[in-house]
Chain A
Amino acid sequence: MTTMADDMLNLEPASLEALSRQLGEPGWALEARRAAQEAFAALPFPERTEEAWRRTPPELFNPQGRGIVRLTPAFDLLGEGEPEEPVGLPFEKGLARLGQVPESLGPSGSRLQEKFSALNAAFRSGGAWVGLPRGRSLDRPLQITHQVPTIQAPAAFFPHSRIVGERHSKATVVESFASQGGDLLAAPVVEIQLEEGACLQYVLVSRWGEGTRALTHLDVRLARNSQLRVLFLGVGGATTKAFLTGNLDGEGAKSEFLGLVFASGQQHFDVDTLQNHHVPAGNSDVLFNCALNESSRSIFTGNIFVAPGAQKTDAYQKNRNLLLSGKAHADSIPKLEILANDVRCTHGATFTTYDQDQQFYLQSRGLPDADARRLIITGFFQEVIERLEGPVLVEWLAGLMQEKMETSLGV
């Protein structure tokens, strides 16, 4: 399931060829990598003075001097049932089948406009390719797992996943990124494209190991009347910086971005969400809950952008922060940039600790202090988890949060 190059490659143009050869790619794929490498070299490295990087130093993600991890993802289905025909492939296989690079990875594509996305496009070393055929509805959630084994020397991992929901398809995809020990820089890029009327639930589970710094890009394009529900679940990794972007390109599109972060120890999560309303009658809804234990830190930056003419936009954004320790630190920057008038855009942010009334009530019913706290945190997560459809998925996610809670709180 997992393979790794015996000889670690480094970030030099010459490595592109070796990487492309190892993955058995055609010549045009290598050309696209070269173009991306040039774009990467030409783009300036982000500065700490830039708004997006003020609270997480970009130097942490400097890829120089690292070997490259090559990895093939595992595909299976969540829950019980008949085996189905798999709809997922390793990225390079999907690419070969398509016969050309997708537009976003092309010479003037959006991925080549940003430093780390261009890096990923050049040194892509894994990832999944999911095509949901027209009108097809998947009964069980598809699970994609990227599991990086223990590494000895400093390494970098650049998975690129692409999910295309064709017209009126319906599916749930759960993509987990995980690593064992070692000094790893992971910079995954996930691109989701929904055609008219497509409907997708997508869960990104970030369970990186303790030595991992993760820089994640999730970019979604929604065509007319398509619906998307994303859950970003952050539990692992030392430092995480994530950019989650929803582009409402077609009228009547609905984008729901959910987030759950449970940070402990010295963990640092810095998540940027952006809802781009380009056209009228879009609906976006963001709910991001962060629970912080010990000396952890979280930063939530959310923006709702409504372009001129995007009338009848309905956008909501909420960030809740639960501070579980005196040393935890949370930032919230929920922004609105509204250039149309016939809209309803609202946002809210709250910061609290354990609700003493709730805790008192639970204790009065005979629950020990630790159990009462655990119940309150569970409730805080449940608010988000319950937004998802499918009992198997909800149960699986609740189990994941429980696991993190046990290691973090020792209860």
Chain B
Amino acid sequence: MADASTEAAIVQQIRSDYKYGFSDAEDYVFKSGKGLTRELIMQISRLKQEPEWMLDIRLKAFEVFKSKPMPTWGADLSGIDFDDIHYYVRPSEKAETNWDDVPEYIKNTFDKLGIPEAERKFLAGVSAQYESEVVYHSIREDLEKLGVIFLDMDGALRQFPEIVRQYFGTVIPMSDNKFAALNTAVWSGGSFIYVPEGVKVDIPLQAYFRINAQSMGQFERTLIITAPGSFVHYIEGCTAPVYSKDSLHAAVVELIALEGSKIRYTTIQNWSNNVYNLVTKRAKAFRNAAVEWIDGNLGSKITMKYPAIFLMEEGARGEVLSIAFAGKGQHQDAGAKMVHLAPHTSSTVLSKSISKDGGRASYRGLVKVLPKAENIRSNVRCDALILDPESRSDTYPTMDIGNQNVHIGHEATVSKVGDEQVFYLMSRGLSEDDAITMIVNGFFEPFTKELPLEYAVELNRLIKLEMEGSVG
């Protein structure tokens, strides 16, 4: 038991550094045992009163999951024990639309995270997921009248089964990878958004994901469809408490931007440092449509996430803007994939990463141009800062170009914080700590300036927190 005390000390240490590390006592309507079986999947489906075809998909995906090997590239996933995870935890009976009806302890959690306040101030709709289920949901009435659908995925399956059936798994098939298969088998919660033709949702819709239980698996499933000429900005945030046992977050996010529409999807991932964050995110952009992934990775133990955009038809445009901060014990293996399937499409990737205290940040990306896709423009830029000799930074881009009429560029740099910059700032009276934090904030600025103000402020605060004590 000698280990237990040190382990507890470590947990305590992490807790004190991580603002969202508190946890609630568990008082759940349903909590599955550990491990995944066919029976459990049938039980989840029954509890959700799903149509037969969804159960069929789940069971098929379970077989695919079992047959797929673990990825051997990227981060070290050997610490994941699929038999030591709770796959389904239901905290309440249904998603409430009135904040007062949400169970008290969950309300307290989200109060602490500042969700209701944020909603009042600047959001058009909010969804809050706690463990496996969405517990609270609301959307502004005017948007609802315009026909905007913003629901949790389970609600969407009940109310709009035909739309869900039409699009579910069309962007990310269950056989895509082991974790996409797992998600398809046990998915629960997530957001469903449908924006009707010509409707522009000018302020963001937000979802908030919270893991509370120990050894929990969260498998939310998100599907966003924008009809021709529409626009939506969706923001998600993620946190979890700190336990000595690891949790798994394996989401699948599918975006479909129909002709002339635009989707902006912003993620600020701040999972505690005991979450494996293995997420498959992919978008299809049709004629003249645009998709933007704004992807911030601060938390988690291991993140493997490569937001992808398939540029399906002429004039489609894709953009990924991502930052990663890898601190002690973290491996951020993030990147972007751009697949040009049609002529006259363009893509941009800007990736910024920082590694510190022995952390490892990797950029892994793909730009693929199919032979029939002419007149392609793509530009990828990766910048990395390494703050100390113990940390590591990698860049693994792949460019696979099958057409000659292209303009494709890729650039990457890895360096430390410039001595001259620090010297200059210190000569103006800043402490070394403040100088480095300011340089890091400046380094991330192309990202932060794309966020709504409240998020940018929060992100700067988080970075400052991460940077504390970075100068010996």
Q: Mark A329-359, 1 if CB is under 8 A from B, else 0.
A: 1111111111111111111111111000000
Q: Is A324 an interface residue (CB 8 A)?
A: yes
With A and B bound together, what is the CA distance between A326 and B401 in angstroms? 11
- In the complex, chain B residues whose CB is within 8 Å of the CB of A321: 401
Would you call A309 an interface residue if the criterion is a C-beta within 8 Å of the partner chain's C-beta atoms?
Answer: yes
* Chain B, range 283-319, C-beta contacts under 8 Å to A: none
Contact A353 B394 (CB under 8 A): no
Assess the B392–A339 pair: CB atoms within 8 A. Answer: yes
Q: Do A347 and B391 have beta carbons less than 8 Å apart?
A: no
Residues on B with beta carbons closer than 8 Å to the beta carbon of A332: 397-399, 401, 410
Docked-complex contact B409 and A349, CB < 8 angstroms: yes
Contact, CB under 8 Å: B401 / A347: no
**Pairwise interchain contact B406-A333, C-beta atoms closer than 8 A:** no
B156 at the binding interface (Cβ < 8 Å): no
A308 CB within 8 Å of chain B:
yes
Residues of chain A with a CB closer than 8 A to B14's CB: none
Partner of A343 from B399, B400, B409, B414 at Cβ < 8 Å: B414
Inter-subunit contact B405/A353 (CB<8 Å):
yes
Q: Is the CB of A335 within 8 A of B399?
A: no
Bound state CA distance, A283 and B409, in angstroms? 24
Interface 0/1 of B381-411, CB less than 8 Å to A: 0001011111111111111111111111111
B46 in the interface (beta carbon within 8 A):
no
Closest chain A residue, CB of each to CB of B415: A344
Cα distance, A339 to B389, chains bound together (Å): 7
Residue pair A350, B416 in contact (C-beta under 8 Å): no
Task: Specify which of A309, A334, A337, A342 is in contact with B416 (CB 8 Å cutoff).
Answer: A342
Asked if A340 contacts B401 (CB within 8 A), the reply is no
Q: Which residues of A contact B392 (CB under 8 A)?
A: 337-339
Contact of A336 among B395, B402, B403, B405 (CB under 8 A): B395
B391 touches A341 (CB 8 A): yes
A145 within 8 A of B: no
Are B408 and A351 touching (Cβ within 8 A)?
yes
A255 is an interface residue with CB less than 8 A from chain B: no
Which B residues between 133 and 153 are near A, CB-CB below 8 angstroms? none
Alpha-carbon distance between A139 and B408 when the two chains are bound, in angstroms = 42
A329 to B436, CA, bound (A): 44
Cβ contact within 8 Å between B415 and A345? yes
A323 sits at the interface (CB 8 A): yes
Q: Is the CB of A343 within 8 A of B415?
A: yes
The answer for the CA separation of A352 and B403 in the assembled complex, in Å, is 9
Partner of B393, one of A326, A336, A348, A351: A336
Within the complex, the shortest CB–CB distance from A377 to chain B, in Å, comes to 13
Pairwise interchain contact A341-B387, C-beta atoms closer than 8 A: yes
Judge if B413 is at the interface, Cβ distance under 8 Å: yes
Residue of A nearest to B383 (CB): A346
B401 touches A346 (CB 8 A): no
Smallest beta-carbon distance A239→chain B, Å: 18
* Interface 1/0 per residue, A283-321 and B, CB below 8 Å: 000000000000000000000000011010000000001
B386 CB contacts on chain A under 8 angstroms:
338, 340-341, 343
Partner of A351, one of B389, B391, B407: B407
- Contact status B397-A351, CB under 8 Å: no
* A336–B398 CB distance below 8 A: no
Q: In this complex, what residue of A is CB-closest to B363?
A: A336
Given contacts A346-B413, A346-B414, A351-B407, contact A331 B397 (CB under 8 A): no
How far apart are A140's CB and chain B's nearest CB, in angstroms? 39
Would you give the shortest CB distance from A263 to chain B, in whole angstroms? 13
The answer to whether B412 touches A347, judged by C-beta atoms less than 8 angstroms apart, is: yes
Query: Are B384 and A347 in contact (CB-based, < 8 A)?
Result: no
Count how many chain B residues have C-beta atoms less than 8 Å from C-beta atoms of the other chain: 34
- Which of B401, B408, B410 interacts with A334 by CB under 8 Å? B410
Q: Are A338 and B412 CB-contacts (below 8 A) given A323-B401, A324-B404, A331-B401?
A: no
| Complex Cα gap A356–B413 (Å) | 30
Smallest Cβ distance from B284 to chain A, in angstroms? 24
- Whether A347 pairs with B411 at a CB distance below 8 angstroms is yes
Residues of A within 8 A of B73 (CB): 51
Highest count of chain A CB atoms <10 Å: which of B371, B388, B401, B405: B401
Query: Is there an interface contact between A353 and B416, defined as CB atoms closer than 8 Å?
Result: no
Of all chain A residues, which has the CB nearest B72?
A: A49
A334 / chain B contacts, CB cutoff of 8 Å: 395, 397, 410, 412
Which chain A residue lies CB-closest to B409? A350
Residue contact B389 to A311, C-beta cutoff 8 Å:
yes
| Complexed CA–CA distance, A337 and B391 (Å) | 11
Shortest Cβ gap from A214 to chain B (Å): 23
Which residue, of B389, B406, B411, B414, has the highest number of chain A Cβ atoms within 10 A? B414
* Residue interface bits B420-442, CB-to-A below 8 A is 1, else 0: 00000000000000000000000
Residue on B nearest A353 in the bound complex, by CB: B404
Known contacts A346-B412, A346-B414, A349-B409; is A335 also within 8 Å of B396 by CB? yes
State in angstroms the CA–CA spacing of A283 and B391 once bound together: 21
Q: Once the chains bind, are B400 and A331 in contact (CB under 8 Å)?
A: yes
Give the residues in chain B near A353, CB-CB below 8 Å.
404-406
**Within the complex, what minimum Cβ distance (angstroms) separates B414 from chain A?**
4
Instruction: Tell me, rounded to whole Å, the shortest Cβ–Cβ distance linking A319 to chain B.
Output: 9
Whether a CB of chain B sits under 8 angstroms from the CB of A325 is yes
Query: Which B residues touch A348, using CB under 8 A?
Result: 409-412
Knowing A342-B389, A345-B414, say if A335 contacts B394 (CB, 8 Å).
yes
Bound-state CA distance A321–B400 (Å) is 11
- The answer to whether the Cβ of A119 comes within 8 Å of any Cβ in the partner chain is no
How many angstroms from the CA of A345 to the CA of B416 in the assembled complex?
Answer: 10
A330 to B368, CA, bound (A): 10
Per the bound structure, the CA–CA distance linking A380 and B407 in Å amounts to 16
- Please give me the residue from chain A that is nearest to B361 by CB atom: A338
> B388 contacts which chain A residues (CB < 8 A)?
341
Known: A321-B401, A333-B397. Is A338-B406 also a contact (CB below 8 A)? Answer: no
A336 vs B407: C-alpha distance when bound (angstroms): 23
The contact of B395 among A326, A339, A347, by CB within 8 Å, is A347
A350 to B402 Cα, complex, angstroms = 14
Give chain B nearest CB distance to A185 CB in angstroms.
Answer: 27
Q: Which residue of A lies closest to B398 (CB)?
A: A333
Q: From B413, which residue of chain A is reached at the shortest CB distance?
A: A346
Q: Which residues of A contact B412 (CB under 8 A)?
A: 334, 336, 346-348
B399 touches A333 (CB 8 A): yes
A338→B384 contact, CB < 8 A = yes
What's the Cα separation between A351 and B392 when bound, in Å? 29
Question: CA–CA, A241 to B392, complex, Å?
Answer: 30
A197 CB → nearest B CB, Å: 28
State the Cβ distance, A343 to closest chain B Cβ, in Å.
7
Nearest residue (CB) in B for A299 is B400
- Answer yes or no: A187 CB below 8 A from chain B CBs: no
Nearest neighbor of A340 in chain B, beta-carbon distance? B389
Residue of A nearest to B388 (CB): A341
A343 to B387, CA, bound (A): 11
A173: B residues at CB distance < 8 A: none
Q: Is the CB of B408 within 8 A of A350?
A: yes
Tell me whether A328 is interfacial, beta carbon within 8 Å: yes
Task: For the A-B complex with A347-B412, A352-B407 known, give 15 more contacts whose Cβ atoms are closer than 8 Å.
Answer: A321-B401, A326-B405, A329-B400, A329-B402, A332-B398, A334-B397, A334-B410, A335-B395, A336-B395, A336-B414, A337-B392, A339-B392, A342-B389, A345-B415, A346-B412
3 closest A-B pairs by CB: A323-B404, A341-B386, A351-B408
- A sample of 19 cross-chain residue pairs with beta-carbon separation below 8 angstroms, ordered by A number, consists of A308-B389, A323-B403, A326-B405, A329-B402, A330-B401, A331-B400, A332-B399, A333-B396, A334-B412, A335-B395, A338-B393, A339-B392, A340-B389, A345-B415, A346-B414, A351-B409, A352-B406, A352-B407, A353-B405
